[in-house]
Amino acid sequence: MNIVIRSAMAVVIAILLASPAVAAEVSVAVAANFTAPMKEIAAEFEKVTGNKVVLAFGSSGKFYAQIKNGAPFQLFLSADDEKPAKLEKEGLIAPGSRFTYALGTLVLWSAKPGFVDAKGDVLRTGHFNKLSMANPKLAPYGAAAMEVLTKSGLVTAVQPKIVQGESISQAYQFVGTGNAELGFVALSQVMKDGKLTGGSAWVVPGNMHTPIRQDAVLLTKGLGNPAAKALLEYLRTDKAKKIIRSYGYGI
């Protein structure tokens, strides 16, 4: 991108972010794994622009279905790149608005310190009561978890112990409340500023599953809302990227 184009974009973003004339409300569907960073980003965006951000968190699969059925969301931050790409083909997003805002990391986590070893060998021992994961049909992190189990040859062995949550948030709750001793969750749920917030974890190597590319899009229902466009652009700012990285995401 040449200097002239970059400068023009910077001016447009500055106008969208700073002008009180475009202050409005924006409705955003956000993948559950991105709950904590998005709350921070939304708070900063509201502070800078005066716009109000209404956030809904859940599984990307359910949001995709709701958007297809006319749900009034204006932005969609998915946990994968597949569903936004489908919405693009179906004419439900603003052309050219889709981009990857984060690269997700899967971890095997237990609320118990020392329970999960550095290589995830606890999965092979079978010395756990339940293994929590998000529904692979609804949540990309659940699909990634199933890929890891398949590649490790452990699906048959652990299948009786698997408990599925509708979203990665529910999968995390199962472990956090002790209903499952360990589970596959998003690194962002158990890490802040490079440190594990509690328990023990194995960061799953990226080559064990399909890359978790998380895409954001401006939906057609947000085309007439300057605040929606401004928030989408805000996700690309250094301030937002710093918050995203602090939760262990790549960009």
Quote the pLDDT of residue 8: 45
Question: What does CATH list as the number for 106-203?
Answer: 3.40.190.10
Could you tell me the CA-to-CA distances from 108 to 105, 132, 152, 202, 251 in Å, in that order? Answer: 10, 9, 14, 5, 22
Record the pTM.
0.85
Q: Name the residue ranges covered by the structural domains of the chain.
A: 3-103+212-246, 106-203
Quote the pLDDT of residue 76: 98
Could you tell me the CA-to-CA distances from 227 to 27, 52, 75, 244 in Å, in that order? Answer: 10, 8, 10, 20
Quote the pLDDT of residue 23: 73
Question: What does CATH list as the number for 3-103+212-246?
Answer: 3.40.190.10
- What strands, in cross-sheet order, belong to the sheet with 182-186? 162-165, 131-134, 182-186, 106-110, 200-203
Q: Where are the alpha helices (DSSP H) in 131-237?
A: 140-151, 155-158, 168-176, 187-190, 226-234
What does the mean pLDDT of the chain come to? Answer: 92
Identical fold between 3-103+212-246 and 106-203? yes
Angstrom distance (rounded) from CA 62 to CA 53 = 20
Quote the pLDDT of residue 15: 46
| Sign of the four-CA dihedral 68, 73, 101, 79 | negative
Quote the pLDDT of residue 10: 52
Quote the pLDDT of residue 143: 95
Burial (CB count within 10 angstroms: exposed 0-12, middle 13-18, buried 19+), residue 115: middle
Note whether 81 and 214 are within 8 A (CB): yes
Could you tell me the CA-to-CA distances from 131 to 80, 114, 218 in Å, in that order? Answer: 23, 16, 36
- pLDDT exceeds cutoff 60 at 22: no
Query: Which of 154, 153, 150 has its CA nearest to residue 126?
Result: 154
Angstrom distance (rounded) from CA 157 to CA 200 = 22
H/E element, 37: helix 35-49
Quote the pLDDT of residue 50: 96
- Per-residue pLDDT tens digits for 158-183: 999 999 999 999 999 999 999 999 99
Note whether 26 and 225 are within 8 A (CB): yes
3-state secondary structure of 177: coil
Quote the pLDDT of residue 193: 87
